[in-house]
Amino acid sequence: NQILLNGNMIKRRSCIDIEDRGYQFGDGIYEVVGIYGGKLFLMDEHLQRLKRSARELSIKLPFTMADIKQDLIELTKVNDVIEGLLYLQITRGVAPRTHELPVEKVEPMVVAYTKELGDLTELQDMGSTAILQEDIRWLRCDVKTLNLLPNTMAKQRAVEQGAVEAILNRGEVVTEASSSNVFIIKDGIVYTHPANNFILNGITRQKVIQILQELNILVKEVPYTVTDLLSADEVFITATKLDVVPINSVDGHDIGTGKPGMMTIQILEAMRQLTARLQVQ
Ligand code: PMP
């Protein structure tokens, strides 16, 4: 397996400087891109979001969009990944450790690797469960940074309870989940938290909203409450490569019939048609 390190394809090995700011402060950004049938799905959208994250943190990306795209396609090919994902991370770089940004010029560190993934069809067809956790993250959740401790701790609690996700609530309001966005359906209308500083605007989220509009299903990007979540007819989460996963119960409380709902299945199928098309391109 090869990795991409600062523009070079090399064998995977550990080579992080102890004063890399990503390592010491989580001072960096990342993207995860899904690979379907050997093709990178929605790569331009992911790279646009990366560009935005970099701008928000004043990290100057050391590559052009065209160049990184070529490198990532090459990496996927070299590693012969058919179903999986690609992880791309850029840290601010190596500098003597001070909280403030280094005054001298530092070169950002760019790393990418690929990972094979097993079949997720059963999880998508059967759905899973979720738990609720207070959202204790900072107020810039719209930036995809390496600072993920609140997310990892919330996910750990979910896994300990056999759940696929921890759905996060800031007080009464449901924001998103530890590594996915949350949608609820009530009386035929789909609701999801608006894309502001309280959530990461998922690339899958945006694709699903587009699919809903094409299916003439009304989608409202408005905040909704924990009570709305628990009394919804259907709930599902979206994330790269998970695509759409129905949530059958939250904190042991059944959602609707306690089985994946009709509209959720319709959205999942529409998503499958999109990703299946990639494989034959
Ligand atoms: N929210 C959070 C907090 C995430 O970490 C992720 C990505 N893993 C998502 C939402 C979903 O984003 P995407 O659809 O771009 O994978």
Catalytic-role residue among 39, 77, 105, 144: 144
ipTM of the complex: 0.99
Query: How many Cα atoms are found within 13 Å in the side-chain-facing hemisphere of 82?
Result: 6
Same domain membership, residue 125 and residue 112: no
Domain boundary among 116, 143, 175: 116
Question: What pLDDT does residue 280 have?
Answer: 60
pLDDT at 281 over 60: no
Kindly report, residue by residue over 23-32, the tens digit of the pLDDT.
Answer: 999 999 999 9
The preferred substitution site among 170, 181, 204 for testing ligand 1, maximizing ligand atoms within 8 Å of CB, is: 181
Query: Which one, of 162, 170, 153, 152, lies nearest residue 131 by Cα?
Result: 162
Domain boundary among 101, 116, 131: 116
| 136 and 111 both lie in a single domain | no
At 133-168, the pLDDT tens digits run 999 999 999 999 999 999 999 999 999 999 999 999
What single DSSP character describes residue 27? Answer: -
Angle at 165 between CA 160 and CA 167, to 5 degrees: 115
User: In the numeric block, which tokens belong to residue 69?
Assistant: 């795209």
Which of 133, 237, 240 gets mutated to test ligand 1 (max ligand atoms within 8 A of its CB)?
240
In this structure, the answer to whether residues 17 and 104 fall within a common structural domain is yes
How confident is the model over 233-277, as pLDDT tens digits?
999 999 999 999 999 999 999 999 999 999 999 999 999 999 998
User: Which CATH number fits the domain that encloses residue 267?
Assistant: 3.20.10.10
**In this structure, are 101 and 207 located in the same domain?**
no
**274 CA to middle of ligand 1, Å?**
19
In the predicted model, what is the mean pLDDT of residues 2-9? Answer: 88
Interacting residues of 26 by C-beta distance below 8 A, sequence separation 6+ = 145, 146, 147, 148
Does the annotation count 144 as an active-site position? yes
The rounded Å distance from CA 240 to ligand 1 centre is 7
Among residues 96, 116, 136, which one ends one of the domains? 116
Domain identity same for 127 and 222 = yes
Q: How far is the CA of 122 from the centre of ligand 1 (A)?
A: 21
Shared domain for 143 and 170, answered yes or no, is yes
- Region of poorest pLDDT, from 7-11, 191-195, 197-201, 211-215: 7-11
DSSP lists the bridge partners of residue 180 as 177
What does the alpha-carbon distance between residue 40 and residue 279 come to, in Å, rounded to a whole number? 10
pLDDT at position 18: 87
Confirm or reject: Cβ of 192 under 6 Å from ligand 1: no
Residue in 168, 170, 169 with CA at minimum distance from that of residue 178: 168
Are residues 155 and 100 both part of a single domain? no
Rounded Cα distance between 3 and 111, Å, is: 7
Q: What distance in angstroms lies between residue 103's CA and the mean position of ligand 1's atoms?
A: 32
Average pLDDT of the chain, as a whole number: 96
Same domain, 29 and 73: yes
> Are residues 105 and 159 located together in one domain of the fold?
no
Please indicate, yes or no, whether residues 160 and 275 belong to a single structural domain of this protein.
yes
Q: How many domains does the chain have?
A: 2
Q: Does the C-beta of 203 come closer than 6 Å to ligand 1?
A: yes
DSSP 13: -
| Whether residue 258 sits in one domain with residue 209 | yes
Centre of ligand 1 from the C-alpha of residue 202, in Å: 5
Provide the residue range defining the domain that includes 29: 2-116
| Strand, helix or coil for residue 227 | helix
Same domain for 212 and 262, yes or no, is yes
Q: Is 240 in the pocket of ligand 1 (CB under 6 A)?
A: yes
Please indicate whether residue 181, judged by its CB atom, sits closer than 6 Å to ligand 1. yes
CATH number of the domain enclosing 66: 3.30.470.10
pLDDT at 8: 86
